Amino acid sequence: MTHALITGGAGFIGSHLAAHLLAQGQRVTIVDNLSTGSFTNVEPLQTHPDFRYAIEDIRNIHVMDRLVSECDLIYHLAASVGVQRIIQEPIETIEVNIGGTEIVLRTARRYRKKVLIASTSEVYGKGVRVPFHEDDDRLLGPTTRNRWSYAASKEVDEFLALAYHKEVDLPVVIVRLFNTVGPRQSGQYGMVLPRFARWAVANQPIQVYGDGLQTRCFCNVHNVVDAIARLAEHPAAVGEVFNIGANDEITILELADRVRTRARSASEIKLVPYDEAYETGFEDFRRRVPSIAKIKAAVGWEPTTPLDDTIDQIIAYCREDMAHG
């Protein structure tokens, strides 16, 4: 029986991955400091005989040494996430993302454990070639805009993981996630769909930042964790980078209207300037579309859940969550 360790396992994606792996018959241990994750996400798993947890920071090398020594495979999802959090807490973003990944890789090397590193579409920066391919050049904004610190920290994570693979033959797989969405995702740190859903359910104004014409592609979390699990077990994925996401574009303005319609909401849609929403001089992607040809060729994966179904799942979760306070 495979024993998986998930860092950030009480987070949105990590908790869904834990449930997915347990359903496959694996043992699962999660480690999370609950800075952005929530124990309620994994509470239903507590009674499962093959589930364990540690509430701890991944930068605690003594705890990580024990956890890594006991597992077969590491899913490294722990990170400082969300545009709002990145802008408000840039030190934490950089130190957690780089320092935490360094400890995971160093400990994995000690025990020769395979590591899947969760990276992000943010590393493509201001790229204008659409769709984004894994080997595309990258262009980030200036260091004076801490909005780019997250992308830069995740780039270092990728470089470090690939260096461990090249120099000491550590088995690593890197995935770049594009706007993963679904039930249990928090809108607290700027995640767009759960914020829209909560506003719509409450009949409050739906705030769209900028002109709303920027486009994104949203992929259901259940599809994403399936892709992650497949790549982690695929021998030919070692040493490679893969995009994971949907490739159907929608403008944020259209998304707001879609959520309002499906929630049968009376909310108005309100445009909010970036400078007011984030900080002066904030820069955003106009388009963010992944090429998923590589992952499809490797493991036959492609997203299967329509966006409307995902929106309905999020709205239903919001209604239940808000009803329980």
Residues marked active site are found at: 150
**Measured between alpha carbons, how far is 30 from 42 in angstroms, rounded to an integer?**
9
Cβ atoms of residues 52 and 79 within 8 Å: no
Residue 216 sits at φ, ψ, to 5 deg, of -140, 165
Residue 172 sits at φ, ψ, to 5 deg, of -130, 150
**Measured between alpha carbons, how far is 159 from 150 in angstroms, rounded to an integer?**
14
Q: Which of 125, 22, 48, 116 is nearest to 78 (CA)?
A: 116
How far lies 286's CA from each of 14, 50, 112, 271, in Å? 28, 44, 41, 16
Cβ atoms of residues 174 and 159 within 8 Å: no
**Measured between alpha carbons, how far is 252 from 270 in angstroms, rounded to an integer?**
12
Cβ atoms of residues 165 and 239 within 8 Å: yes
**Measured between alpha carbons, how far is 22 from 250 in angstroms, rounded to an integer?**
34
Q: Which of 131, 100, 90 is nearest to 296 (CA)?
A: 131
Cβ atoms of residues 2 and 72 within 8 Å: yes
3-state DSSP call for residue 247? coil
